Structure 1
Amino acid sequence: MIAIVPAAGIGQRMQATIPKQYLKIAGRYILDHSISALFRDPRITHVIVALHPQDTLFGKSAFANNDKVIRVEGGASRAQSVLNALAFAQQRWDEETLVAVHDAARPGLPAQHLQQLLDRAQAVPEQGAILALPARDTLKVATAQHQVEKTLDRTLVWQAQTPQVFQLGHLQHGLQAALEAGVDVTDECSAMEFLGIQPQLVMGSRAALKVTDPEDLELIAFYLQSNLITEGS
């Protein structure tokens, strides 16, 4: 089992001078926390990181010289970055290999949730599985004029998180097919849905939030410190 971390984005909404994955929390890059979280499960043997072509910061990462972390060039979109990583992976692993794709800016992934996700993905490898959270708030569909069009049944709506785990061959085929059809692929699950596959939902965690806006930094720092205390380190 391997993992892919698309880390070629620049994180414009963070309003920072460097890409958000290189902001430091608890003394480490956000990206380093995210990679570390994946290696907490021994089933993940390697992590492929897709970096921006002009990335100058990964060389300072705690994983820059780790032989289990492989660098590839990222693309103009998340989907293209994942495809680039998958193209490399195909040279070393077979098409049935499970691949866990994880956001570079989702550093608070708890070990127990990763374990449960990988367990589920191994049980249904042709479907795959993703971490997700049931919606808590009432959800509205808006018009182009920002008016309420209708209310969704929140009992049927889940908020997707990562990792998202699929077989290497299926994921590559799904991403490529979706992009060629002009489908807006915002996560790997979207590509699998395009193929008619219905991935399994595995309960995620509030701690596994994606760092997107400046106000997320204080919250994720709290979760990371809580994890450190829990793990006794």
Structure 2
Amino acid sequence: MSARFWLVIPAAGIGARMAADRPKQYLQVAGRSILEHTLQRFLDHPALRGVVVSLAADDPYWPVLAVASDPRIRRAAGGRERADSVLAGLEALKSEGAADDDWVLVHDAARPNLALEDLQRLLDSLADDPVGGLLAVPARDTLKRAGADGRVQETVDRSVIWQAYTPQMFRLGALRQALAQALRAQVAITDEASAMEWAGLAPRLVEGRADNLKVTRPEDLQYLQVLWSEPR
């Protein structure tokens, strides 16, 4: 049986590289916002206990979404950085009764194409893991390390390189402590796994699908529009 879990979605960013009139998580594709597609991937799962979405204080788009009234979802105040938003989400879960040893999944708001089988694989693979881990994909292309002059310094061994995706899955108490300590130390935290690594732990890599893309640029949205043009 898969682990029961809580979910935190950090969604306070503006997605400047999309050059759109609103944060990228609110752009429409296949009749709904990206954020609604993202949330639905988890709301359909029977092991879900509850969700916190961390949003900007002045976010005018969330309240008008139909999903905003879902009783399983609570809103929290997003922060300046991703780590601040995730930590706020974890604090909100604590106030909802989540325990330190409960599993929490953190997932990007603009990563709406998570395969349900990948979610299940993550839950099953990490159910008894002492640390937790994340969905990831082994590097496929030849990788180059660049110098300051923009020229190749070396070719990197791709056999040991993985692309980190989300969801990332850790115990609430351990992740909360790692994020809080890293923020106090002013450590650059790019994802939840990096906070756990900084705390001296080694998250497990769980291989997922490469099409679990994060919408970052206009062409990503175009890709989803084509991908989802057929019945899903």
Is TM more than 0.5 here?
A: yes
State the Cα distance separating 1:225 from its structure 2 match.
4.5
Range that drifts further, 190-199 or 39-48: 39-48
> Contact 1:209–1:220 (CA<8 Å) still a contact in 2?
no
State the Cα distance separating 1:75 from its structure 2 match.
0.3
Cα deviation, 1:28-76, whole Å, max 9, x if unaligned, reads 0100000001123211121100001110000121211111011011000
Distance in 2, matches of 1:129 and 1:98, equals 11
> Residue 208 of structure 1 aligns to a residue in which SS?
coil
State the Cα distance separating 1:221 from its structure 2 match.
2.5
**Residues paired across the two proteins, number:** 227
Distance in 2, matches of 1:47 and 1:143, equals 43
Q: 2:190 aligns with which of 156, 161, 186?
A: 186
Q: 1:121 aligns with which of 113, 122, 126?
A: 126
The alignment status of 1:110 with 2:133, answered yes or no, reads no
Distance in 2, matches of 1:67 and 1:76, equals 27
The match for 2:105 is: 100
Amino acid at match of 2:17: R
Q: Which runs of structure 2 are paired with 1:55-204 in the superposition (5 Å)?
A: 55-91=59-95, 92-124=97-129, 126-204=130-208
> Contact 1:134–1:157 (CA<8 Å) still a contact in 2?
yes
> Residue 113 of structure 1 aligns to a residue in which SS?
helix
Cα deviation, 1:163-203, whole Å, max 9, x if unaligned, reads 00000011011111222222211100000101111111111
Distance in 2, matches of 1:169 and 1:127, equals 11
Structure 2 residue ranges without an equivalent (≥5): none
- Report the identity percentage: 44
Distance in 2, matches of 1:46 and 1:203, equals 25
TM-score, with normalisation over the residues of structure 2?
0.94
State the Cα distance separating 1:81 from its structure 2 match.
0.3
Q: Displaced runs of 4+ in structure 1, greater than 4 A?
A: none
> Contact 1:130–1:160 (CA<8 Å) still a contact in 2?
yes
Range that drifts further, 181-190 or 215-224: 215-224
Amino acid at match of 1:163: P
Structure 1 residue ranges without an equivalent (≥5): none
